Amino acid sequence: GENVEQHPSTLSVQEGDSAVIKCTYSDSASNYFPWYKQELGKRPQLIIDIRSNVGEKKDQRIAVTLNKTAKHFSLHITETQPEDSAVYFCAASRAAGNKLTFGGGTRVLVKP
């Protein structure tokens, strides 16, 4: 089955700096890659996703890049703010809507 690895497990950045989280996947047939943000005690919420026919996608301060050849994708957060502090999960699946395999999560702390 699919295996998704996520790095780093924790990330501390100064407010205003950028944060980058990287994920690798094992199943070359995977074609849907969402990112979820989970605040303490809350539910995971989708913040951005990308499909395998696209190399990059941006939404305001958040961007995701995908390298299908290398089987890795990354989340970039620019101009970080304290409210960006949370755990971020990457995931992969073969077809949108089917079973998602999650990475282990990255705890991001934005220091004011």
Partner 1 sequence: DAGVIQSPRHEVTEMGQEVTLRCKPISGHDYLFWYRQTMMRGLELLIYFNNNVPIDDSGMPEDRFSAKMPNASFSTLKIQPSEPRDSAVYFCASRWDRRGDTQYFGPGTRLTVL
Q: Which residues inside 5-44 make contact with partner 1, applying CB under 8 A?
A: 32, 34, 42-44
Q: Which residues pair with 11 in a beta bridge?
A: 108
Question: How many H-runs (helices) and E-runs (strands) does the chain carry?
Answer: 0, 11
Residue 101 CB, nearest distance to partner 1 (Å)?
8
How many residues bind partner 1 (CB under 8 A)? The answer is 19
Q: Determine if 112 is a binding residue for partner 1 (CB under 8 A).
A: no
The verdict on 45 binding partner 1 (CB under 8 A) reads yes
How many alpha carbons fall within 13 Å on the CB side of residue 29?
Answer: 7
- Using DSSP's 3-state secondary structure scheme, residue 84 falls into helix
CB of 44 to partner 1, least distance (A): 5
